[in-house]
């Protein structure tokens, strides 16, 4: 009886100890494996971190690990997610360029507007627009206090109104540009793009590991995709593709 109780208590202690490992410890463990040239072990450690605990640093390091393993599609997905979170990070941009240089197949056409607006994240655009609007409303309220107050803020009210309107327009344009970007990435070599979202459907064409597509629809774990360079379209299984979120 005592032996059983001891085993039971030991099991509980091991379970509690394992659960007590924090996301930060998993992250540091993965970083240590990555520094030692052990990308598979690094990915296993990073995989213990809950998806909602993601960060630019975590996605960046995951991308580096996938790139070291030659998994270029997965590397591209992770690095693009990192870029979403930290759009001005030079290391992320450099790593993205290096991974894309290793991917064979048609290159994604450059979008100058998207690249310019992409210097800020969507949250940053929304925050700037919201701050300008609140400042404008505050000036409008001050102007209602009387003729003297109205005269003192007249020029600022007009200026902040124009700035707020411009920032809202830029935020909407950034969102629209992000929606037009290729957001589905093939994560397998010779990924089959089919004419309908069924495994037995005819293959329209195949895509290489790391090929990027525009998302035009979803159904039952399938992505309806369009190739930016050629315009070819079809259905790609979610098991052989990764999705880059808009935000």
- Residue-wise pLDDT tens digits, 181-234: 888 999 999 999 999 999 999 999 999 999 999 999 999 999 999 998 888 999
Q: What is the mean pLDDT of the chain?
A: 86
- The three-point CA angle 243-237-246 to 5° equals 15
Who's near 155: CB < 8 A, 6+ residues apart? none
**The predicted structure's pLDDT at residue 247:** 72
The Cα 125–Cα 63 span in angstroms is 26
CATH of 2-102, one of 2.40.40.20, 1.25.40.10, 3.40.630.30, 3.30.110.40: 1.25.40.10
Percent helix, strand, coil in the chain (nearest 5)? 60, 15, 25
Share of the chain above pLDDT 90, in %: 58
Enter the CATH code of domain 184-243: 2.30.30.40
- Residue-wise pLDDT tens digits, 99-129: 999 998 777 777 787 888 888 888 889 999 9
Domain boundary assignment for the chain: 2-102, 115-180, 184-243
- Residue-wise pLDDT tens digits, 57-89: 999 999 999 999 999 999 999 999 999 999 999
């Amino acid at each position: 009886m005592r032996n059983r109780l001891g085993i039971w208590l030991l099991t509980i202690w091991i379970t509690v100890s394992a659960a007590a490992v924090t996301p930060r410890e998993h992250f540091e463990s993965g970083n240590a494996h990555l520094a030692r040239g052990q990308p598979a072990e690094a990915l296993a450690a990073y995989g213990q971190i809950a998806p909602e605990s993601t960060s630019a640093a975590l996605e960046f390091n995951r991308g580096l690990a996938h790139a070291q393993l030659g998994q270029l599609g997965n590397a591209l997905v992770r690095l693009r997610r990192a870029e979403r979170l930290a759009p001005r990070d030079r290391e992320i941009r450099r790593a993205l360029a290096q991974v894309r240089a290793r991917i064979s197949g048609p290159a994604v056409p450059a979008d100058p507007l998207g690249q310019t607006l992409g210097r800020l994240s969507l949250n940053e655009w929304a925050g700037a627009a919201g701050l300008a609007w609140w400042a404008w409303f505050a000036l409008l309220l001050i102007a209602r206090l009387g003729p003297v107050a109205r005269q003192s803020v007249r020029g600022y009210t007009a200026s902040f109104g124009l700035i707020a309107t411009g920032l809202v327009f830029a935020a909407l344009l950034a969102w629209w540009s992000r929606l037009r970007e290729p957001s589905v990435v093939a994560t397998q070599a010779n990924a089959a793009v089919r004419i309908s979202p069924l495994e037995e459907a005819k293959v329209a064409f195949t895509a290489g590991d790391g090929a990027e597509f525009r998302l035009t629809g979803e159904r039952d774990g399938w992505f309806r995709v369009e190739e930016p360079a050629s315009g070819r379209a079809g259905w790609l299984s979610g098991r052989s593709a990764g999705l880059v979120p808009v935000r």
